[in-house]
Amino acid sequence: MQTCKQTGCVEYRNLTRRQFMGVSAATAAVVGAPLWLPRVAYAGAPSTRDVLITVFLRGGADGLSLCVPHGDDGYYALRPNLNIPRPDSTSEFACLDLDGFFGIPKTMRGICDAYDDGDLLFVHATGSIDESRSHFQSMNVMETGKPLDPTLFTGWVGRHLMTIDPVNPNAILRAVAINSSLQRSLAGSPLALPVPDLTNFGLDGWDETMDERIALLGSSYAAGSPLLQTHAANTITTIGMLENIGFESYAPSNNAEYPDTYFGTSFKSSAALIKAAIGVEAIAVDIGGWDTHADQQPRQGYLADLMQELADTLGAFHADMAGDASKNYVVVVMSEFGRIAYENGTAGTDHGHGGALICMGNHISGGRVLANWPGLADDELFQGQDLAITIDYRDVLAEIVQTRLGNSNLSTVFPDYTPAFHGVTEA
Amino acid sequence: MGIQATFQRRVSEYLQSLFDGDPESIQKSPLFAGMSRRDLLFGGGLAATVLGASGCPPADMAIEAASEDDAKHGEKGIDPVLRRLVERCTYGANQYELNLAKQMGYDEYLAYQLDYNQIDDSEMEARLSGYQSLHYSAKQMALAGEMGNYDVFYELVNSTILRAAYSKRQLYQRMVEFWTDHFNIYIEKDYMYYLKPVDDREVIRKHAMGTFPELLSASGHSPAMLVYLDNDPSSKEAPNQNYARELMELHTLGVGNFSQQDVEEVARCFTGWSLEYDWESPSWGTFKFYGWAHDRKRKKVLGHDVPRRGGVEDGQTVFDILSKSDSIAPICARFIGKKIANWLWGYDPPEALIDSMAKSYLGSDGSIKKMVKTALSHEWLSQAQPKLKRPFHYVISSMRMAPSDIPEFWGVRYALSLMGHEPFQWAPPNGYPDALQFWGGSLMPRWRYGALVYTQNYSPQFDLSKFEGEIEPLQFMNRLNRDFFGGKISATDKALLLDYVQENPYSEWRRKEALGLAISCSGFQWY
């Protein structure tokens, strides 16, 4: 049987982490601070609070492919064609065993190091209690953190940041959406801005008149509609701040190699941003394409490639951040719903209910799969067709908010809900 | 607040001198004396943070500013509600449209825009004469694409930009954009490059001002939609629910107005709805019903029976239940009416307006024109607030203010992609949002577009001759106000821009920068 440990990605293992850290420490001692560090220090006192990175898998990711319940015969009965074979199978697509019951597809081997180091946790049979099977309603519920309240626009991360002092009192940017617009989870956040490309945020045109032009826009918006004033002010202050971080020359620690995709690059820039310690507390990243109604291809092809992009990115980020152990972070990967447990007739799966969630961080109690597995037999399925939810996703997020983000205002962050903690974070 | 208050006082003093008509004092204006650029920048930022946190309701500054400014300038006497009508009907109220509206008056101008096919648009058609693929069948598109050219894709996107910018049928183009989002199709899926252009022509543009039931049915028969929402492989053995669900949730009723059981039943009604797959056939890529794949058993949809032994008509029965039946159509009418009101009237339309919209729908068998007319009526528009231009609207309005004759639009496409608003590139089926909260936070891409569009070798290249040559800064500003702002530039923006060109009155470069700054300014983002 192949396990995650035995097959950990070869590239990561050529050098041990200890060697990597020795090398980078020596280099730093000789040449001084790396070039990409901000030339102006914005950093305040060091904080032990984690920087939160939320990843939303848009479209409803198939939890049964991301974290395979190979120990449940029901899985193979419901997915005769769209399964990942058992770890002891002779198939070249046999999954990598995690704990004797769950496994991951081989294309996700990029996360093996993080899992083996105890920094990566799967939570299974989880999700939001919303039953609509609608992408948009389910996303709203997950990102606002409160089911079906049309009057609530703010997101759970937004309310978290609203109800806690900034890590750095001088911070001019507390939350970043690596996106062309703010995700709903960040709505309401103080000092939040969408920055589609962190490496390139500024005004084009002639350098000589740059400051003058920015000043003019600042004055125009300050006197203009109140609805755009804050956005404009945040934008302008952020220009200078991001300019001071040399994203272009950022060299990841441990030779971590991020996939050369928008998602991969977003994480690479996020690592630079966190290491620069300018007071950013939350980063939101999206990756779409998970709505696999037809031709899902979990073993090889469409979904397999998408899962690989996700895993390689998380793996690279984990290796990169290990180079600076003083920077605490937590990544939470979620999706609006899982997919129907049985495959449909078009080699895909339709909108379902329960799914899987991934937490990764240097204070996550990982290296395991957290699940109160409901089973996949007919009478165990939700509405006769879906993986049931036995852990509300808010339990996981609330525990992180309280223990890793230092915010105990859980009734504001997740209104009308009393979360139960499951030991997601290290005691 | 201190710096900001000082600044505003200086602006108003300055404007006073401007209107007193003393050019000497304007030239020597001490507007920014003693205040460095940095002061302005950070002062503005500081003040904005404070103001923004107060959560002021949106003030209808545009209308007030308009009337004040109109009295002083060329646009004498245009009724602010009429101006708003022109702004809501078009992608930019330029001189041509404003003059037209003034000549016609409110009701006649609205009727003119509604009867769009009576508007002579031959100039537009001449501009598009080289766009062969706009008339192709799916098969012809695919044959062209097989040869490795992307013309069918670029011609679709470029013609969309061109039509929005320069067609005289402006309200019609605005409704085309609305329905393109409502019946969203992501063009990067499968062979959508060949199917979406047909959908654009035969569904969206054909019915944009027709009736909703006809539009709905056309969309459901559209191979592009069936492929996009995975209905094409749906059969009685394996019904796919994707189209069935979005048909009710996004196209007609809204979430909460149907059950999962309805989704399953509707999916059965549409089994076998697909397209001609035979590549040898000249009708490749057209709608085709596969009877053998159709579930002929009895179904029940939203309380209505769909009898057994049905064939292709089951799908039409569903469209009729949704858009015409006594029990369900009122829900559909409110859902569609509210969305059109949000588009044309403004954010969060009041219940009374939604009621009127639904009434217009139900009293006219779903006439889109009737609903549009209600949303844009003088009674309602006089109560409307400014809306934020979405990036597409913003870019197109910048094009309408300084015309270009060069039909080459890669730069515009690129700018739109940076702003996250390239036509046909929204992947999920709900279409680009029509919400301030969604677009308002992303100003930088707008400013970057403004910084490049009139100064660089950008496509399209604009005719800026009116702003070049030996003209005084004040004259430059008046032209800018007239052409870009329809005469209603805000006092602050005007003072800022005038100061910018006065800094060095002989610099053509600076004036082009000022044009880009003008469209980046706060006032230009609203309509």
What does the block give as tokens for B120?
């002579």
Q: What is the pLDDT of residue B136?
A: 94
CA distance B44 to B413: 32
Q: How far is A237 from chain B (nearest CA, A)?
A: 7
Question: Does residue A145 register a pLDDT over 60?
Answer: yes
Question: Does residue B12 register a pLDDT over 80?
Answer: no
Per-residue pLDDT band for A51 (boundaries 50, 70, 90) equals very high
Indicate the range of A82-86, B351-355, B422-426 predicted with least confidence: B422-426
| Residues B522 and A232: beta-carbon distance below 8 Å | yes
Are residues B44 and A293, on separate chains, in Cβ contact within 8 Å?
Answer: no
Are residues B51 and A181, on separate chains, in Cβ contact within 8 Å?
Answer: no
Q: What is the mean pLDDT of residues A97-120?
A: 97
Give the nearest partner residue to B238 out of A234, A237, A344, using CB atoms.
Answer: A344
Q: How far is B81 from chain A (nearest CA, A)?
A: 19
Give the nearest partner residue to B37 out of A131, A215, A291, using CB atoms.
Answer: A215
Identity of the highest mean pLDDT range in A146-160, B76-90, B270-284: B270-284
Q: What is the pLDDT of residue B409?
A: 77
Give the nearest partner residue to B237 out of A153, A231, A345, using CB atoms.
Answer: A345
Backbone angles phi, psi at B367, to 5 degrees: -65, 125
Are residues B51 and A288, on separate chains, in Cβ contact within 8 Å?
Answer: no
Q: How far is B430 from chain A (nearest CA, A)?
A: 8
Are residues B428 and A348, on separate chains, in Cβ contact within 8 Å?
Answer: no
| Residues A57 and A335: beta-carbon distance below 8 Å | yes
Indicate the range of A33-37, B446-450, B464-468 predicted with least confidence: A33-37
**Of B159, B162, B164, B169, which is closest to residue B196 (Cα–Cα)?**
B159
In chain A, what residues touch B430 (CB-CB under 8 Å)?
135-136
Query: Percent of chain A, pLDDT > 90?
Result: 70
The residue ranking higher by pLDDT, A19 or A132, is A132
Reported residue count of chain A is: 427
CA distance A158 to A175: 9
| Residues B396 and B149: beta-carbon distance below 8 Å | no
First to last CA, chain B: 28
Q: What is the pLDDT of residues A252-269, one digit of tens each?
A: 999 999 999 999 999 999
* Strand (E) or helix (H) holding B453: helix B444-453
Per-residue pLDDT band for B9 (boundaries 50, 70, 90) equals very low
DSSP assignment of A239-296, as one string?
A: HHHHHTS-GGG---GGG----SSHHHHHHHHHHHHHHHTSS--EEEEEE-----SS--
Which one-letter DSSP state was computed for residue A123? E
What does the block give as tokens for B487?
């005469």
Which one-letter DSSP state was computed for residue A189? -
Q: What is the mean pLDDT of residues B234-261?
A: 95
Q: How many alpha carbons lie under 13 Å from residue B331 in its C-beta half-sphere?
A: 17
Indicate the range of B147-151, B280-284, B291-295 predicted with least confidence: B147-151
Reported residue count of chain B is: 527
Q: What mean pLDDT is reported for chain A? A: 88
CA distance B245 to B254: 10
Q: What is the pLDDT of residues A326-363, one digit of tens each?
A: 899 999 999 999 999 999 989 999 999 999 999 999 99
Which one-letter DSSP state was computed for residue A176? E
Classify strands A391-392 and A120-127 as parallel, antiparallel or unpaired.
parallel
Q: How far is B127 from chain A (nearest CA, A)?
A: 31
Are residues A222 and B437, on separate chains, in Cβ contact within 8 Å?
Answer: no
CA distance A388 to A338: 10
Indicate the range of A41-50, A400-409, B166-175, B287-296 predicted with least confidence: A41-50
In chain A, what residues touch B5 (CB-CB under 8 Å)?
none
Q: What is the pLDDT of residue B43?
A: 33
| Residues B361 and B336: beta-carbon distance below 8 Å | yes
∠ CA A191-A207-B46, rounded to 5°? 30
Question: Does residue B24 register a pLDDT over 60?
Answer: no
Are residues B240 and A203, on separate chains, in Cβ contact within 8 Å?
Answer: no
Q: What is the pLDDT of residue B505?
A: 56
Q: How far is A189 from chain B (nearest CA, A)?
A: 11
In chain B, what residues touch A239 (CB-CB under 8 Å)?
444
In chain B, what residues touch A196 (CB-CB under 8 Å)?
418, 420, 442, 445
Per-residue pLDDT band for B408 (boundaries 50, 70, 90) equals low
∠ CA A42-A45-A47, rounded to 5°? 105
Give the nearest partner residue to B444 out of A233, A235, A291, using CB atoms.
Answer: A235
Q: What is the mean pLDDT of residues A31-43?
A: 44
Q: What is the pLDDT of residue B188?
A: 84
Q: What is the mean pLDDT of residues A25-44?
A: 42
Q: What is the mean pLDDT of residues A85-91?
A: 97
Are residues A350 and B242, on separate chains, in Cβ contact within 8 Å?
Answer: yes
Q: What is the mean pLDDT of residues B277-286?
A: 95
**Of A210, A274, A196, which is closest to residue A38 (Cα–Cα)?**
A274
Indicate the range of A78-92, B115-129, B406-420 predicted with least confidence: B406-420
What does the block give as tokens for B368?
């889109």
Task: Provide the sign of the torsion angle of the four alpha carbons B510, B516, B522, B523, taken in this order.
Answer: positive
∠ CA A39-A45-A47, rounded to 5°? 110
Longest dimension (CA), chain B: 87
Give the nearest partner residue to A193 out of B256, B436, B441, using CB atoms.
Answer: B441
**Of A244, A246, A239, A247, which is closest to residue A210 (Cα–Cα)?**
A239
| Residues B395 and B450: beta-carbon distance below 8 Å | no
First to last CA, chain A: 32
Residue to substitute from A200, A216, A238, interface B, most B β-carbons within 10 A: A216
Indicate the range of A257-266, A415-424, B38-47 predicted with least confidence: B38-47
Give the nearest partner residue to A223 out of B8, B438, B517, using CB atoms.
Answer: B8
Query: Percent of chain B, pLDDT > 70?
Result: 83
Give the nearest partner residue to A222 out of B4, B421, B443, using CB atoms.
Answer: B4
Per-residue pLDDT band for B403 (boundaries 50, 70, 90) equals confident
User: Could you report the predicted ipTM of this complex, rounded to two decimals?
Assistant: 0.83
Q: How far is B359 from chain A (nearest CA, A)?
A: 25
Q: Which residue has the tokens 């997919």?
A: A339
Per-residue pLDDT band for B264 (boundaries 50, 70, 90) equals very high
Q: What is the pLDDT of residues B184-205, one digit of tens each?
A: 999 988 789 999 999 999 999 9
Cis peptide before B460 (omega within 30 of 0): yes
CA distance A382 to A353: 8
Give the nearest partner residue to A227 out of B4, B53, B436, using CB atoms.
Answer: B436
Are residues A181 and B490, on separate chains, in Cβ contact within 8 Å?
Answer: no
Query: Percent of chain B, pLDDT > 90?
Result: 68
CA distance B485 to A368: 61
The residue ranking higher by pLDDT, B306 or A241, is B306
The residue ranking higher by pLDDT, A11 or A166, is A166
Q: What is the pLDDT of residue B407?
A: 54
Q: What is the mean pLDDT of residues B330-334?
A: 98
- Chain A and chain B share a number of CB contacts under 8 A equal to 222
Are residues B230 and A294, on separate chains, in Cβ contact within 8 Å?
Answer: yes
Question: Does residue B11 register a pLDDT over 80?
Answer: no
Question: Does residue B284 register a pLDDT over 90?
Answer: yes
Contacts made by residues B226-231, CB under 8 angstroms, sequence distance 24+: B226/B273, B226/B274, B226/B275, B226/B287, B227/B189, B227/B190, B227/B191, B227/B192, B227/B195, B227/B275, B228/B185, B228/B186, B228/B189, B228/B192, B228/B429, B229/B429, B230/A293, B230/A294, B230/A346, B230/A348, B231/B270, B231/B273, B231/B274
Question: Does residue B328 register a pLDDT over 90?
Answer: yes
